[in-house]
Chains A and B, each alone.
Chain A
Amino acid sequence: MAIRLTKAWTALTVENATALPGQLGVYELADGDGQTVAFGFAGGRALFGLRSELTTLAEAPPHGATQYRVEVNSQYQTRFRELLMVYQADHGELPAVNAEKPPIGLGRLSPL
């Protein structure tokens, strides 16, 4: 598993999102320039996992998000935090959406 999400981007549309699996996992949203605007997860309380989370986001995209990529992962809590810490190490700040409400007690990484 790569430490950063590296899959190709998919357009953030309701049609694409409804085709996603109903599994737990993490996602990354980006704007048209490929700039990350959010990391999030579909957790144990998501009605249909990644499918319902991304569908909701496609209906009202935050911070100009137009594309997404996902990773099915039952370790969604720790993977989500890992993605944020890596992003913070790379960019010196959190993505716009996450910066509005940072997770409690987010740590810091200095990945190679």
Chain B
Amino acid sequence: MALEGATQQIRIAVIDDGEGVDPMDFEPNEEQKLIVEQVRRFVHEEIIPLEATLDPDASEIEPEDFARLSDKVKAMGLWGLDVPIEYGGPGVDLVTRTLIAFEMAQHRAGLYVPCYGVFGTMGLAQLYEATEDQKERYLKPVLRGEKKGFFGLTEPSGGSDPARAIQTRAVKDGNDWVINGSKVYISGADKAQFGLVFARTDKDAGRGGVTCFIVDTDMPGFHVRRVVHTLRSSHYATELAFEDLRVPQENVLGEVNRGFAIANDRLTRQRIPYAAACIGVAIKAQEMAIEYAKQRETFGAPLASRQMIQGMIIDNELDIRTSSLMTLAAAAKAERGEPFRMEAGMAKLLASEAGGRVVDRSMQVHGGIGMTKDLPLERWYREMRIRRVGEGPNEVQRLIIARDLLGGNFK
């Protein structure tokens, strides 16, 4: 039975090119190779030299550099890579975008800020399900780079189980909703012009009693109370407080009490580039480990000749290849329009754990210099740890996988 299930999964994970089914063929085609090579060159010629002039924990570049580099990306036809084609994106398929994401992450800031954002942003996935009026006011300004948004879900009482944890309340008052409560570990709220805030609108309905609101940050009652410092020392999270914050009815995103039903497909899809960035960093860390092992000599021979070092490099490669294949398989399934929630969860889980192991082993190969800010490894080590918790902790990914395999919602 188990073998039958596994065979079925492998069969699902093949690419259908319209001329029959090729078993697990993820060899990039010529067009993909060209695009990937173009992005690789961009990272090597534009990003890495610029990065060498920045603080090792920097996550932003000067506006003039951003403008110059994003102009180059536009000329390459890759601006707004993840933006759907109907909103002006270049219409690159998800498998190719995954291959590109592997490349874009291969620099010091690449895990969280691939190429410092010069490929453009797709914004918050939920806004693609907004009303036309909401899209005009929020989504389109984000795509034009005029506004920034934040995602406000987690509260001091918890984040992985928001259905029970959300205590922020929204109460209807005329045409408005009045929100009171707090959020924590929220990224970018201090710089955002608006945010998506999830609040309880029916205290007895659990997951079915939560509504998503689009909140303007310049409204009275919106407060960014404090900075929350994390392992990711280039970027902080924030703690928010809402005190009688009034939000008009037209800023309800989706339906009242159906806040969690919004954009599930798009959110699942985001786990694929999230995984790909972990893999990109792992590839670069492995490349560095191999290079260093070949040139560094101990006791009269290069490190590369030592079996213990070889073992680390082999294990790195195994981690990179297994997580890459899983991530590409998830992307291929999503691209074909098939259910891919389980595969996306597996990709996120595998890549974030594999990425951590690869960076850790690469630091070990480097020895002392691997611990210093002279190399990007220490930054990746700290940031990679967060990836096992971000975008849904890996334990929650395992729950998702179990639900799909076992076919139920076991409590």
Spell out A's residues near B (CB within 8 Å): 3, 43-45, 74-79, 81-82, 85, 104-112
Query: How would residues 38 to 75 of chain B score, 1 for a CB under 8 Å from any chain A CB and 0 otherwise?
Result: 00000000000000000111111111000000000000
Residue of A77, A105, A106 ringed by the most chain B CB atoms within 10 A: A77
CA A107 to CA B235, docked complex, whole Å: 12
- Give the tally of cross-chain contacts (CB within 8 A): 65
Known: A82-B227, A104-B63. 14 other contacts (CB 8 A): A3-B226, A44-B55, A76-B57, A77-B55, A78-B233, A78-B234, A104-B62, A106-B191, A107-B188, A109-B224, A109-B226, A110-B223, A110-B224, A111-B226
Whether B56 and A45, one on each chain, are in contact in the complex, defined by CB atoms closer than 8 angstroms, is: yes
Flag if A110 contacts B55 (CB, 8 Å): no
B224 to chain A, nearest CB (A): 5
Determine how close the nearest CB of chain A comes to the CB of B70; give it in whole angstroms: 14
Q: A43-B56, A45-B55 are in contact. Are A112 and B225 (CB under 8 A)?
A: yes
List residues of B (183-241) whose CB comes within 8 Å of A's CBs: 188-191, 223-227, 229-230, 233-236, 238
Chain A CB within 8 A of B373 CB: yes
Contact B56 A76 (CB under 8 A): no
15 sample A-B contacts, Cβ–Cβ < 8 Å, listed by A number:
A45-B56, A75-B229, A76-B57, A77-B58, A78-B235, A85-B190, A104-B63, A105-B60, A105-B191, A107-B189, A107-B224, A109-B190, A109-B225, A109-B238, A111-B226
CA distance A44 to B63 in the complex (A): 22
Instruction: Give the complex CA separation of A107 and B226 in angstroms.
Output: 11
Chain B, Cβ-Cβ closest to A24: B373
With known contacts A45-B55, A104-B63, A109-B190, A78–B229 Cβ distance under 8 A: yes
In this complex, what residue of B is CB-closest to A46? B55
Interface SS, A side: loop
Please give the distance in Å from B375's CB to the nearest CB on chain A: 11
Q: Distance (Å) between the CB of A10 and the closest chain B CB? A: 25
Q: Are B236 and A82 in contact (CB under 8 A)?
A: yes
In the bound assembly, the distance between CA atoms of A90 and B189 in angstroms comes to 19
> A76–B236 Cα gap in the complex (Å)?
11
* Contact residues in A for B373 (Cβ distance below 8 Å): 44
The residue in chain A whose Cβ has the minimal distance to the Cβ of B223 is A110
Complex: how many Å from CA A106 to CA B188?
A: 10
Measured CB to CB, the nearest residue on chain B to A45 is: B55
Find the B residue at minimum CB distance from A78: B236
Within 8 A of A (CB), among B278-324: none
Q: How far is the CA of A111 from the CA of B227 in the complex (A)?
A: 9
Main DSSP-derived SS at the B contact region: loop
Once the chains bind, are B60 and A104 in contact (CB under 8 Å)?
yes
| Residues of chain A with a CB closer than 8 A to B60's CB | 104-105
Q: Does A77 lie within 8 Å of B224, measured CB to CB? A: no
* Closest Cβ neighbor of A41 among chain B residues: B55
Shortest Cβ distance from residue B7 to the other chain A in the assembled complex, whole angstroms: 49
B120 to A: closest C-beta gap in Å: 16
Query: Nearest Cβ distance between residue B378 and chain A, in whole angstroms?
Result: 9
Partner among B63, B190, B226, B234 whose Cβ is within 8 Å of the Cβ of A77: B234
Contact B57 A43 (CB under 8 A): yes
Shortest Cβ distance from A25 into chain B, in angstroms?
A: 12
Nearest A residue (CB) for B61:
A104
- A74 to B55: give the CA distance in the assembly, Å: 13
**Nearest-CB distance from B207 to chain A (Å)?**
31
Decide: A81 and B236 in contact? CB cutoff 8 A.
Answer: yes
A79 touches B229 (CB 8 A): yes
Q: In this complex, which of A43, A81, A107 has the most chain B Cβ atoms within 10 angstroms of its Cβ?
A: A107
- State in angstroms the CA–CA spacing of A110 and B56 once bound together: 29
Chain A residue nearest in CB terms to B232 = A78
Q: Which residue of B lies closest to A107 (CB)?
A: B190
- B191 x A107 contact (CB < 8 A): yes
B227/A78 in contact, CB under 8 A: yes
A112 to B226 Cα, complex, angstroms: 9
**Distance in Å: Cβ of A109 to nearest Cβ of chain B:** 5
| Chain B proximity of A78: nearest CB distance (Å) | 4
Residues of the B chain whose Cβ atoms lie less than 8 Å from the Cβ of A74 = 233
Task: Note all chain A residues with C-beta closer than 8 A to B188.
Answer: 107
Instruction: Please report the C-alpha to C-alpha distance between residue A81 and residue B234 in the assembled complex, in whole angstroms.
Output: 10
Beta-carbon contact of A77 and B233 below 8 Å: yes
**CB closest residue in chain B, given A1:** B229
Contacts of A3 in B (CB 8 A): 226
User: Which residue of chain B is the closest to A110 with respect to CB atoms?
Assistant: B223
Identify the interface centre among A74, A75, A111, A112: most chain B CB within 10 Å of its CB: A75
